[in-house]
Amino acid sequence: MPNEQLKEDNIQKTLESGLKCFLMKGIEGTQRNDIVALSGISRRSVLRYFNCKEKFVIAVLKFFGDYQYEYGCQLYYKNLKPHCSGLEALKAYLNAVKTIFLENSDYFALLAEGELYLGHSKCQTNSVINNYVGNFTASSKALQDILEQGIKDGSIKHFTNFSPQESVVFCQSFFGMLIHLALSKGMGVYTLEDCMAIIDKFLEMFFASIQ
């Protein structure tokens, strides 16, 4: 139906504009008028789609999180070689996440800002990841499948009893590191180059520990 399609298009424009405003002005500093001005959607419509800022913040974080997940899947399958080992698949998976951080490190910092805005006294990384990182459950399941493949084919040797819960914990730890690096970059503690060097060192040590 035309009206339904128009509504969906307007909501997407509103979310895209909200993301841009959050990245430019911060969540706290963004007002409804900023969204209206950037999106071209009427104030009344924006209010009808999202009747409070908290709901809008959650919608924006999930909207971009889902986009990042789909983009990550594209990167993963693009770099995945036919008939590769589980270890090679794991490297492709984590390198895809690394590429997303390289291209969109501010998004990871925005996750923490969103958590703080939504009422937590301090940033709880696991809560941020579980709630707002796009398809986190699917990401953890994909990691578990890759690890099981590597264990079966012998390319991964030191996680022979790796459980689904441990794959969740590893995902939380890895994404948590990215969030904290992004926050440090935003505060001027690290440059993007520093962050990438830390990620590369982490991955180097991790891969050395499982082969």
CB 52 within 8 A of CB 118: no
Residue-level pLDDT at 182: 87
Q: Higher model confidence: residue 61 or residue 119?
A: 61
Residues 57-67 pLDDT 10s: 888 888 888 88
Q: Quote the distance between the C-alpha of residue 112 and its chain's center.
A: 11
Structural tokens at position 63: 């909207």
Which of the four pLDDT bands, split at 50, 70 and 90, describes residue 16? Answer: very high
Return the number of other C-beta atoms located less than 10 Å from residue 155's C-beta: 17
Distances in Å between the alpha carbon of 35 and those of 12, 25, 112, 168? 12, 11, 21, 35
Q: State residue 159's pLDDT score.
A: 65
Q: Tokens in use for 108? A: 């990871």
Share of the chain above pLDDT 70, in %: 87
Q: Is the pLDDT of residue 70 over 90?
A: no
Name the one residue in this structure whose structure tokens are 């709901």: 55
pLDDT on residue 121: 42
Q: Which of 13-27, 104-118, 162-176 has the lowest mean pLDDT?
A: 162-176
pLDDT at site 110:
85
pLDDT of 69 = 83
- Euclidean distance between CA atoms 169 and 28, whole angstroms: 30
pLDDT at residue 125 is higher than 80? no
Contacts of 111 (CB under 8 A, 6+ apart): 61, 128, 129, 132, 133, 179
Task: Give tens-digit pLDDT for 138-191.
Answer: 777 788 888 888 888 989 887 656 666 776 777 778 888 888 898 888 888 999
Query: What tokens does 45 get?
Result: 């419509």
More confident residue, 140 or 50: 50
What does the pLDDT look like over 75-109, one tens digit per residue?
999 988 889 999 999 999 999 989 988 998 888 88
Model confidence at 1, pLDDT cuts 50, 70, 90, reads: very low
Q: How far is CA 130 from the centre of its chain?
A: 10
Model confidence pLDDT, tens digit, residues 83-92: 999 999 999 9
